Amino acid sequence: MRDLVVAALLLGCLAMAVYRPFAGVMLWSWISFMNLHRLTWGFAADLPWAMLTFIATALGCLLQREPKRIATDGVSVLLMAFLVGVTFTSLVAVAPAAVVWDQWDRTLKVVVMLVLTASMLDDRLRIHALVWLMVVAVGYFGVRGGVFTLITGGGFIVMGPPNTMIMDRNHLAVALLVVLPLMNYLRQHSAHRPVRIGLAAAMLLTLFSAIGTQSRGALVALVATAGLFWLRSRGKLVSGMAVVVAVAGVLAFMPDSWVQRMESMRNYEDDGSAVGRLTIWRAAILLALSRPFTGGGFRAVYNQDIVNTVAPDVKARASHSIWLEVLSDHGFLVFGIWVGIVVVAVFYTMRITRVADNRPDLRWAADLARMSQASMVAFLVGGSFLSLSYWDYFWTLCVVIAATHRVVMQTVKVPRVAAAGAPPPLAAWRAGEARR
**360 inside domain:** no
Residues 283/307, Cβ–Cβ less than 8 Å: yes
**N-to-C CA span, the chain:** 39
Rg of the chain taking only CA atoms, in angstroms:
22
**Residue type (1 letter), 61:** C
Higher per-residue pLDDT: 255 or 34: 34
**296 inside domain:** no
Using alpha carbons, select from 161, 129, 128, 155 the residue that is nearest to residue 142: 161
Q: Find the mean pLDDT for residues 333-362.
A: 94
**165 inside domain:** no
Cα(61)–Cα(57) distance, integer angstroms: 6
Residues 280/314, Cβ–Cβ less than 8 Å: yes
**252 inside domain:** no
Higher per-residue pLDDT: 38 or 196: 196
Q: Which residues 6+ apart lie within 8 Å of 280 measured at CB?
A: 301, 314, 315, 316, 317, 318, 319, 320
Cα(138)–Cα(146) distance, integer angstroms: 13
Structural domain of residue 26, as residue ranges?
1-66
Using alpha carbons, select from 118, 144, 126 the residue that is nearest to residue 39: 144
pTM, whole model, 2 decimals?
0.88
How high is the mean pLDDT of the chain?
86
Classified as helix, coil or strand, 411 is helix
Q: Find the mean pLDDT for residues 31-46.
A: 78
Residues 229/190, Cβ–Cβ less than 8 Å: no
- pLDDT-based confidence at 415, cuts 50/70/90? low
Residues 303/95, Cβ–Cβ less than 8 Å: yes
Confidence (pLDDT) at 102: 94
Helix-strand-coil percent breakdown of the chain, rounded to 5? 75, 0, 25
Classified as helix, coil or strand, 259 is helix
Residues 391/165, Cβ–Cβ less than 8 Å: yes
Cα(203)–Cα(183) distance, integer angstroms: 7
Q: Find the mean pLDDT for residues 157-178.
A: 88
Cα angle value 121/124/126 (rounded, 5°): 45
Q: What is the pLDDT of residues 198-235, one digit of tens each?
A: 999 999 999 989 888 888 777 788 888 777 777 777 76
**289 inside domain:** no
Q: What is the pLDDT of residues 290-325, one digit of tens each?
A: 999 999 999 999 999 999 999 999 899 888 899 999
Using alpha carbons, select from 167, 262, 251 the residue that is nearest to residue 214: 262
Q: Find the mean pLDDT for residues 55-65.
A: 88
Confidence (pLDDT) at 264: 63
Q: Which helix (H) or strand (E) holds 3?
A: helix 2-19
Inform me whether the pLDDT recorded for 434 exceeds 80: no
Cα(314)–Cα(304) distance, integer angstroms: 8
Inform me whether the pLDDT recorded for 256 exceeds 80: no
Cα diameter, the chain: 72
Backbone dihedral angles phi then psi of residue 220, each to the nearest 5 degrees: -65, -45
**29 inside domain:** yes
Domains of the chain: total: 1
Q: Tell me if the bond preceding 67 is cis, omega within 30° of 0.
A: yes
Question: Above pLDDT 70, what percent of the chain?
Answer: 89
Q: What is the pLDDT of residues 95-132, one digit of tens each?
A: 999 999 999 999 999 999 999 999 999 899 999 999 99
Using alpha carbons, select from 11, 41, 40 the residue that is nearest to residue 27: 11
Instruction: List the beta strands (DSSP E) in 304-371.
Output: none
